[in-house]
Chain A
Amino acid sequence: MVKRILSSVAVFAAALAFVGLVASYAMSKSKEPAPFSATSAGTVATSQGQMKHVTLALNTYPDSGVPANFNSDHTDHADWVSYGPSTRLEVPAHSLVTITITNYDSGEVLNNSFFKDVIGVEGTATLNGKPFTSVPPDHVGHTFTLRPAPINHNSELFVSVPLLAVAEDAIPAEGYTDTPNVITFSFIVGEAGEYIWNCEYPCGDGSYAKFGNAMSAERWMSGTLSVV
């Protein structure tokens, strides 16, 4: 009986060690992009009083391999659409975050027109310098949609901003358009915590409502925002 119990324990321990080895190997192979910290822009008056003001400049390209400073960690799927220069964002707690996204990509129809609207921003979002609250649902390039990570489930921060698609005839056969759409918006972050963002325009491949490839992998069309 004792021998049987010892054998069972030994087999269980060996299985556990095997799973641990596989997990640690997978973790060592996973690439986490370098954090992209917001730039301080002094203080600013907000609806919640005077706050720190920080800025982030992002861009979206139809692929992720060409510009030298753009997502240099993307060596495996250079043809996938991507946000850049990083998808791992860091901002300070209790601050107004202003994000400017330059969109070089075209687009089509959203799966859900809910994401055509600007939601959850502080003040007014601008598109190419002009205020806007929504874009046509059949002309969306990407979206920046932010909400809490599971570890931060008490927060109710929700921000979603559509990025107007670049017209097809403005995209050259090679290289990138000279007239990208520039979208700027702000939102307020409170206590330190983790947030997740991703694109809600179906810009991936595959049969899962075009949410495959770049849409179903970290570091391309989804990322994290750490409030530190």
Chain B
Amino acid sequence: MSTKERKLGSVGEFIRRPYVRHIFIIWIFVTIAIGLFAPVQSSLMGNSASLEMDVVKETMTIFTFWSAPVAGLVISVALYSLFGWRSQGETAPTEDGSPMRSNSKVVVGWLVGSSILCVMLLVWGLAAMSESHNGSDPAKIHTVNVVGNQWVWNFDYKDDGNFSTPVLYLPIDEPVMFNISSVDVIHSFWIVEMGVKMDANPHETTHMRVTPTELGIFNIRCAELCGLNHSAMFTKVHVVSKSDYKVWVDSMKGSAQ
């Protein structure tokens, strides 16, 4: 061990060091700033048009908030290293700084703290996923088969009348199960405002449930680069009232016959 190497010593000695106090103060400010940014971040995700998007935005806020202490520590140490431990002279120092050795108490504290945060996020995530997959009578869920083609989406309404359309219509406040597949290459079915983004794979069906909560017309895009006209692989989803949906379904059944 070099004579310049040193142990961190006791926790008490460690926290009395000036740079530790400085980093601690920076950490407090950065953590509060990230915590305050958490709800701003989810608002930047745009308007929510489904229950699932509400859960996604809430999860983003909570995850950002809970990860703020860890991110704050990394950022504060980086900032202090950049400005506090920078060589002040005209020329570069001839010797390297003192190497640091690990401190078991600090390492244990860091690992335990990080683990607790990770478990909290895991529990939250599992609960959010469960919330978006349960809670409705399966008989009341509309089923739409979403098919990706190079470079068109089409939607098969097997339960509501057995017809196919290039534009999606959904009733408001009623759960819909998308069975998503592809007939050629990998696509990705993406409705930003509804928090829906799921790969459409050939030879495989993926599933995603959504409950629209806002009337309106929203864009559906392909989020997976899929060939020549990938940029034109978009269509619309119309979220309409339950009565308008019934009228639309009846008109489609009529035209399909």
Contact = CB atoms under 8 A, between A and B. Distances in A.
Interface of A: 111-112, 114-115, 117, 119-120, 145, 147-150, 153, 156, 158, 160, 196, 198, 200, 202, 208-209, 211, 215-218, 222
The number of chain B residues touching the other chain, given as a range, is 20 to 34
24 contacts: A111-B184, A112-B149, A115-B149, A117-B164, A145-B152, A147-B152, A147-B166, A147-B232, A148-B232, A149-B232, A153-B234, A156-B167, A156-B236, A158-B166, A158-B235, A160-B152, A198-B228, A208-B185, A211-B185, A215-B150, A215-B228, A217-B228, A218-B228, A222-B228
Contacts of B37: none
Contacts of B151: 198
Contacts of A208: 150, 184-185, 227
A216 B152 contact: no
B41 interface: no
Contacts of B150: 208-209, 211, 215
A119 B166 contact: yes
B132 interface: no
Contacts of A149: 232
B166 A150 contact: no
Contacts of B234: 150, 153
Contacts of B149: 111-112, 114-115, 200
B100 to A, nearest CB: 29
B229 A222 contact: yes
A111 B148 CA distance: 11
Nearest to B156: A114
A170 to B, nearest CB: 28
Contacts of A200: 149, 152
A216 B227 CA distance: 7
A129 to B, nearest CB: 23
Contacts of A148: 232
Given A148-B232, A217-B228, A222-B229, A114 B219 contact: no
Contacts of A115: 149
The 3 closest A-B pairs by CB, nearest first: A209-B184, A111-B183, A114-B154
